[in-house]
Structure 1
Amino acid sequence: MTRPFALAFASLLLVGAAAPPPAAYDIVIRGGRVLDGAGNPWVTADVAIKDGRIARVGVIEGKGRQEIDASGRYVAPGFIDMLDQSGRVLPRDGSAANKLRMGVTTLIAGEGGTAVPASELAGYFSTLETQGIAVNFGTYYGAIQARVKVMGDSAGAPSEAQLSAMEDEVRTAMKAGAFGISSALIYSPASFQATADLARLAAIPGKCGGFYATHMRDESDKLLAAIDEAVAIGERSGAKVEIFHIKAAYAPLWGKLMPQAIARIEAARTRGVDIGANIYPYRAGGTGLDVTVPTHVFAKGREAAHAALRDPAVREQLKKELAAGPQADWSNLVHASGGWKNVVLANGQVEQYKRFNGQNFADIGKALGKDPADAAWDIWLAALPARASALYFMMDDKDIDLAMKQPWVSIGTDASAADSTVDPAVAGRPHPRSYGTFPRIIAEYVQARPVLTLPDAIRKMTGWPAQRLGLADRGLLRAGMRADIVVFDLAAIKDHATFEAPTAAPAGIDEVIVNGVVALAKGQPTGSRSGTVLRHTCPAV
């Protein structure tokens, strides 16, 4: 062997000997301030991910195929949205980009029910998995869906046979993987459901750790009675009770109702009722214009209500009811907001009214030369079958702060994933909660004002809702858990979405990992579809 050849051969041997070993992990997040999701203070640690799960937390010597330097930043479990509205959007657009940008990795939907009937729910879940979704998704089934299928959308008490048929619908939904049943009792025809009927339906998920989740019958002057009803349903049925977007939405009693509401819930928990709530961090709620119409108008169904609203004589009577304030069977959100000046059109849906998006109804009425109620109802009817929507400024910051501090309160957006199939020009103004909720919790309630500590804020968005939902392998940064993770810069995190610019993206949330796959990198969605459908197991039905 010649000397040059021998030297070259030796060099090759050395290169081969120095070749790096294969990566031990899929991803290693290095040197971040790790918040475990259980409320503990942060610790400096690495997080190693392999095969979709957290392999180790601590000092990681092995390399990852992908390395993320988290020095100076925080690493937490992915956020869980306890009040999502994406059930109808995800089959069309599974990207959930606005949710990912907020650090959200799991959505729990179904306030108004599932996107399909109970008999189609199993197939709907399979379709989501086949098409692919960027985040994890679970849902409740709507008690109203069962009622409408069995007896239509008018008022009236169901017969025994009808109740039995409703129970069959709930069983079907639970077998498919629903987390329980939901109600939205402020809206007709759900408002026609009796407490006893709801308790009977809730007893089905109550047999297997499922939920009765509710947008209560009233969140304004009759808030305490509504809480009592939710508690009673939980006690009778054995179901866990989840109160959607807890609020004291009644300007005349700001500062008074919320402490009493909290006391009611604490008393129920002391008695052994498994009850909690979620909240969004904004003074305004957002919903359709139909809630400005007294419930009794819908007693014969929605088509009859639409016809009635076209009668000037009916309208004059309804205006009197609006001006009269609270009523026994209707939550008057216009009165609760302090009048039409505090109700803002979010989406008029049709061309002739879109120019008023973002304006309050006192001003819209003046511009149209109409009573504000007539303006609202004209817009509502013109938009059908689409839903014209508004923002109702009903809450006080001090009440929000007090509710936020409660250990049994989690966070929900009450908003859908963005739908890229819809032209933004016709989308109107969404509520800023769609784009800002989770970063706002940290930016406003941790950083700007000492309402929450950072560990507790993270617990409310991760460990607590996962425990509540029975997601035993999510919500915490511990070995063996599913690798749903968010990396954020505490100094930079900020919600930029406002009521004037509601779709502005937040800042400071850099990386989001869903089931071990990077779904957001440097603040931008990667296009991954690593999310999965979360199914509640209910063998007892």
Structure 2
Amino acid sequence: MSIRIENARIIDGTGSPAMPGGVRVEDGVITHVGPNPPEADQTIDAQGRVVCPGFIDTHSHSDLVVMENPFIWPKIRQGVTTEILGQDGISMAPLPIRHIPAWRKNLSGLEGESDTLDWTWETTDGYLARLEGTGVGANVGYLAPHGNVRMEAMGLDGRPAGLGDLTVLKAVLRRELEAGAFGLSTGLIYPPCTYADQAEMEALCSVAAEFDRPLVIHQRSEADTILESMAEVLDIARHTGVHVHFSHFKICGKYNADKLDRVLGLLDQAADEGLKVTIDQYPYVAGSTMLGAILPPWAHAGGTDKLLERLADEKSRTRMLRDIRDGILGWDNFVAFAGVDGIFVTSVRTPANEDAIGKTLVQLGEMRGKPPLVAALDLLLQEENAVGMVDFYGLEEHVKTFMARPEMNVCTDGLLGGTPHPRTYGAFPRVLGKYVREEQVMPLETAVRKMTGKPAETFHIDKRGLLKPGYHADIVLFDPDTVRDKGTYTEPRQHPTGIDLVMINGTVVHGPDTPATSTPSGRVLRLGR
């Protein structure tokens, strides 16, 4: 089967200026890019719209959902053709059988829950083999999550790794990278990753560097101690040679705005030293994660069951509330930088608390007749920690500043449950509409590169991210005059305008008159295989 797209404005993902012409695809591979594409079985008239490579979401949380529903339409309908799973150090594999019950609870606030899966894949190889068996609607790659690796090696205890632990940690990570993981991820605000010291991170990063794969890191602080946090990460890069990729880069807390120049200075210093540093970013001033992140790290030690015991204990609760009020050095206190009026509940586990969805912690407290944080702790206990949130963290001027950085590529960081963050449906079109067309933060060709060619280079994704003969036919057709996100924080489940066609490996999965797709056309990508 061959397809020709003609009368298009070609933006090829390299950052080069747009040019008129078209693209021809045959058997899932691009065979022509430029003027006068040869005849094909099917012709699509682009009518002057932009044709470009499919977008690559370098921070995705579709890990569990894609096992039950191959087509993640909120991503596909915004032009995403490849997703990188396994983020923040907390994901689906490795997962030793003995830890399944505890890990499912730890995972549920971020990735959701399922009673239909048997959860017995054990390793990254097993997880990816499951996806290969069921099929995926878009292409997916996977990062080896630090928390899962640590759980297999050390359990869920809140302690630093000893010498013997480091040997096991490195062996587990090596096995996962050999299975095709695209790098190592960590979330140093999430248990059990948060208990790792710099020596543990350097031991693991030495393995990642040996494989020439990045450390994808939610750093220890994006708020009060962001400068110290970045210094630690850059030291890890200096000592190990690992490529550092900062996840969802930002400064949290408007009161931390004065740190911007010093943050940028650290990025410039890294570039001057020749360190390999990249970042990704979602284009919003609010984030989204597990509500349990408002609790101090010690509360999570030992896993979710231990957390629930502490939430039920008045003495432990009092300590949690005190730590949230007073803060702990080096801990990102979401309540401090977002406020109880800037944190919204987005998902819960049971119908009993569905009335909390969409409410701020202030509103939750009013509904329950309790102080906001007491009501939040009650909710976490009742829902066994499976609660999502949106938190308003920062400044629009920072979003635009980081977006224009040469290190930056676009991501969604989209959670899929409950009332999700609007980025799940609209991050990429928002950049094209709001920040390119309306605010002119960067040229359109630069923005497309930050969505396609640049992330493909960062993660070593072979023969994707460019419109080039011989490359896989992941293609998006969009209208630069109308493309825009539509979702809001109160009504996020709205597909964008202006994304007119999405092709994955040569199959049109979204477009005019496209029939309902039943056969997934995506591929499970394994680096080095």
Normalising by structure 1, report the TM-score: 0.89
What residue ranges of structure 2 are gaps of 5+ in the alignment? 96-121
Q: Does 1:80 align with 2:56?
A: yes
Q: Deviations over 1:56-92 (max 9, x none)?
A: 1123353111111102211011000010111222121
What corresponds to 1:159 in structure 2?
162
What corresponds to 2:92 in structure 1?
115
What corresponds to 1:399 in structure 2?
398
The letter of the residue matching 1:116 is A
Match of 2:34 among 37, 46, 58: 58
Q: In the TM superposition, what is the alpha-carbon distance from 1:123 to its structure 2 partner?
A: 2.9
The letter of the residue matching 1:143 is H
- Given that residues 33 and 72 in structure 1 are in contact (C-alpha distance below 8 angstroms), is that contact kept between their aligned partners in structure 2? yes
The letter of the residue matching 2:403 is M
Q: Using the alignment, how far apart are the partners of 2:302 and 2:424 within structure 1?
A: 34
Match of 1:252 among 237, 250, 255: 255
Q: Secondary structure at the match of 1:341?
A: coil
- Given that residues 354 and 428 in structure 1 are in contact (C-alpha distance below 8 angstroms), is that contact kept between their aligned partners in structure 2? no
Distance 1:314 1:122, change over 3 A: closer
Q: In the TM superposition, what is the alpha-carbon distance from 1:233 to its structure 2 partner?
A: 1.7
What corresponds to 1:27 in structure 2?
3
Q: Deviations over 1:330-363 (max 9, x none)?
A: 21011011x2011111123332321121111112
Distance 1:233 1:523, change over 3 A: farther
Q: In the TM superposition, what is the alpha-carbon distance from 1:388 to its structure 2 partner?
A: 0.6
Q: Using the alignment, how far apart are the partners of 1:458 and 1:348 within structure 2?
A: 36
The letter of the residue matching 1:366 is E
Larger radius of gyration: 1
Q: In the TM superposition, what is the alpha-carbon distance from 1:301 to its structure 2 partner?
A: 4.2
Q: Using the alignment, how far apart are the partners of 1:155 and 1:127 within structure 2?
A: 31
What corresponds to 1:209 in structure 2?
212
Match of 1:305 among 293, 304, 307: 307
Q: Using the alignment, how far apart are the partners of 1:126 and 1:523 within structure 2?
A: 33
- Given that residues 101 and 509 in structure 1 are in contact (C-alpha distance below 8 angstroms), is that contact kept between their aligned partners in structure 2? yes
Q: Deviations over 1:284-303 (max 9, x none)?
A: 11111211111122345442
What corresponds to 1:463 in structure 2?
453
Q: Using the alignment, how far apart are the partners of 1:345 and 1:516 within structure 2?
A: 39
What corresponds to 1:276 in structure 2?
278
What corresponds to 2:412 in structure 1?
413
Q: Using the alignment, how far apart are the partners of 1:61 and 1:318 within structure 2?
A: 64
Distance 1:134 1:301, change over 3 A: closer
- Given that residues 154 and 298 in structure 1 are in contact (C-alpha distance below 8 angstroms), is that contact kept between their aligned partners in structure 2? no
Distance 1:392 1:61, change over 3 A: closer
The letter of the residue matching 2:4 is V
Q: Within 5 Å, which residues of 2 pair with 1:96-107?
A: 96-107=72-83
Q: Using the alignment, how far apart are the partners of 1:362 and 1:39 within structure 2?
A: 46
Q: Deviations over 1:183-232 (max 9, x none)?
A: 10011221100111111111112012101111111111111111112212
- Given that residues 147 and 191 in structure 2 are in contact (C-alpha distance below 8 angstroms), is that contact kept between their aligned partners in structure 1? no
Distance 1:298 1:133, change over 3 A: closer
What corresponds to 1:241 in structure 2?
244
Q: Using the alignment, how far apart are the partners of 1:346 and 1:265 within structure 2?
A: 33
- Given that residues 124 and 144 in structure 2 are in contact (C-alpha distance below 8 angstroms), is that contact kept between their aligned partners in structure 1? no
Distance 1:272 1:126, change over 3 A: same
Q: Using the alignment, how far apart are the partners of 1:322 and 1:183 within structure 2?
A: 23
Match of 2:525 among 534, 537, 540: 534
Q: Which moved more, 1:292-301 or 1:359-368?
A: 292-301
Q: In the TM superposition, what is the alpha-carbon distance from 1:409 to its structure 2 partner?
A: 0.3
The letter of the residue matching 2:469 is A
Q: In the TM superposition, what is the alpha-carbon distance from 1:392 to its structure 2 partner?
A: 0.8
- Given that residues 93 and 148 in structure 2 are in contact (C-alpha distance below 8 angstroms), is that contact kept between their aligned partners in structure 1? no
Q: Using the alignment, how far apart are the partners of 1:476 and 1:40 within structure 2?
A: 11
Distance 1:123 1:298, change over 3 A: closer
Q: Using the alignment, how far apart are the partners of 2:519 and 2:49 within structure 1?
A: 23
What corresponds to 1:421 in structure 2?
none
- Given that residues 48 and 60 in structure 1 are in contact (C-alpha distance below 8 angstroms), is that contact kept between their aligned partners in structure 2? no
Q: In the TM superposition, what is the alpha-carbon distance from 1:316 to its structure 2 partner?
A: 2.7
What corresponds to 2:17 in structure 1?
41
What corresponds to 1:92 in structure 2?
68
- Given that residues 184 and 214 in structure 2 are in contact (C-alpha distance below 8 angstroms), is that contact kept between their aligned partners in structure 1? yes
The letter of the residue matching 2:93 is V
Distance 1:317 1:34, change over 3 A: same
Q: Using the alignment, how far apart are the partners of 1:349 and 1:115 within structure 2?
A: 19
Q: Using the alignment, how far apart are the partners of 2:187 and 2:209 within structure 1?
A: 19
- Given that residues 510 and 523 in structure 1 are in contact (C-alpha distance below 8 angstroms), is that contact kept between their aligned partners in structure 2? no
- Given that residues 488 and 510 in structure 1 are in contact (C-alpha distance below 8 angstroms), is that contact kept between their aligned partners in structure 2? yes
What corresponds to 1:336 in structure 2?
337
Q: In the TM superposition, what is the alpha-carbon distance from 1:453 to its structure 2 partner?
A: 1.4
- Given that residues 210 and 240 in structure 1 are in contact (C-alpha distance below 8 angstroms), is that contact kept between their aligned partners in structure 2? yes
Q: Which runs of 4+ in 1 moved over 6 A?
A: none
Q: Using the alignment, how far apart are the partners of 2:523 and 2:208 within structure 1?
A: 22
The letter of the residue matching 1:346 is T
- Given that residues 212 and 234 in structure 1 are in contact (C-alpha distance below 8 angstroms), is that contact kept between their aligned partners in structure 2? no
Q: Secondary structure at the match of 2:199?
A: helix
Q: Using the alignment, how far apart are the partners of 1:113 and 1:312 within structure 2?
A: 29
Q: Secondary structure at the match of 1:91?
A: helix
The letter of the residue matching 1:353 is N
Q: Using the alignment, how far apart are the partners of 1:481 and 1:299 within structure 2?
A: 46
Q: Secondary structure at the match of 1:318?
A: helix
Q: Deviations over 1:480-506 (max 9, x none)?
A: 222111000112212111101111111
Q: Within 5 Å, which residues of 2 pair with 1:86-485?
A: 86-111=62-87, 112-117=89-94, 120-254=123-257, 256-324=258-326, 326-337=327-338, 339-384=339-384, 387-416=386-415, 427-485=417-475
Distance 1:61 1:249, change over 3 A: closer
The letter of the residue matching 1:54 is I
Q: In the TM superposition, what is the alpha-carbon distance from 1:471 to its structure 2 partner?
A: 2.2
Q: Using the alignment, how far apart are the partners of 1:143 and 1:27 within structure 2?
A: 42
- Given that residues 219 and 248 in structure 1 are in contact (C-alpha distance below 8 angstroms), is that contact kept between their aligned partners in structure 2? yes
Q: Percent identity?
A: 31
Q: Using the alignment, how far apart are the partners of 2:282 and 2:304 within structure 1?
A: 29
Q: Secondary structure at the match of 2:67?
A: coil
Distance 1:62 1:186, change over 3 A: same
- Given that residues 217 and 245 in structure 2 are in contact (C-alpha distance below 8 angstroms), is that contact kept between their aligned partners in structure 1? yes
Q: Using the alignment, how far apart are the partners of 2:495 and 2:309 within structure 1?
A: 41
Q: How many residues align?
A: 501
Q: Using the alignment, how far apart are the partners of 1:443 and 1:304 within structure 2?
A: 46
Q: Which moved more, 1:368-377 or 1:518-527?
A: 518-527
Q: Using the alignment, how far apart are the partners of 1:294 and 1:128 within structure 2?
A: 35
Q: In the TM superposition, what is the alpha-carbon distance from 1:523 to its structure 2 partner?
A: 8.4
Q: Using the alignment, how far apart are the partners of 1:403 and 1:86 within structure 2?
A: 25
Q: Using the alignment, how far apart are the partners of 1:350 and 1:114 within structure 2?
A: 22
Q: In the TM superposition, what is the alpha-carbon distance from 1:142 to its structure 2 partner?
A: 1.1
Distance 1:391 1:114, change over 3 A: closer
Q: Deviations over 1:16-65 (max 9, x none)?
A: xxxxxxxxx70100010000111122110111111222111123353111
Q: Secondary structure at the match of 1:352?
A: helix
Q: Using the alignment, how far apart are the partners of 2:319 and 2:26 within structure 1?
A: 65
Distance 1:463 1:430, change over 3 A: same
- Given that residues 5 and 37 in structure 2 are in contact (C-alpha distance below 8 angstroms), is that contact kept between their aligned partners in structure 1? no
Distance 1:227 1:415, change over 3 A: same
Q: In the TM superposition, what is the alpha-carbon distance from 1:473 to its structure 2 partner?
A: 1.3
- Given that residues 250 and 394 in structure 1 are in contact (C-alpha distance below 8 angstroms), is that contact kept between their aligned partners in structure 2? yes
